Structure 1
């Protein structure tokens, strides 16, 4: 099984374009009723992950963090508080510290609510370390506000 993930609207040029075509191996554990656990290998585009390819070649060098930051220029997310589109690069300034970017499968997903609950309990640790928490998920801003209200979860992080 082979799959590739990429930023659909992010322009990739230079070293980033070379990195996007580089694939790295990953292992996924699948569970079903018939088979309790089985491992399946798949290949994921290196542009989809934070780590560089396993073995770079001279024709496909590692992308710099500046290249990755530039690739995010056209990516926007909807803010839960207002519903307005916000460029992803405006959510934090990498020169001022790091960000913990949590990706929710769907803001209505039970597992994602569990993750949000754990993240909420860790906010003080993130603040002490100078890290900003950003949670991004599939769903409408209305559904994200429900998550923020019921947990409670800081809406400025959604």
Structure 2
């Protein structure tokens, strides 16, 4: 039996929703049942991460989509941890570029995206937080 496997990283600026997206993908993929009482921010398991509300170390998880296993790496968004993101980019097949619909691409996001492109990765752009007041998804995509 041949298993299909894809490794993807989620890249974005801090607070643009990477960890929340991964948490929701885990829930919607059936990895966790609806009856399970889960803490918010499943992926941020480190005490310091929970205290600061940011991802410091990249973490991976996996979901199934049909006969494909998708390994998802939740990466840090803060510029101080850019080296961690660059290390992960060398290990993945693709990236989801998550952009806040109000704030748009931030300098760190642009930097990390340029690194991904230099490695031949073709980002899939995901516009997040479109329900926030003042969001402008069309302008963000442009």
TM-score tier, shorter chain, comes to: 0.3 to 0.5
Structure with higher RCO (Cα < 8 A, 6+ apart): 2
The TM-score with structure 2 as length reference comes to: 0.36
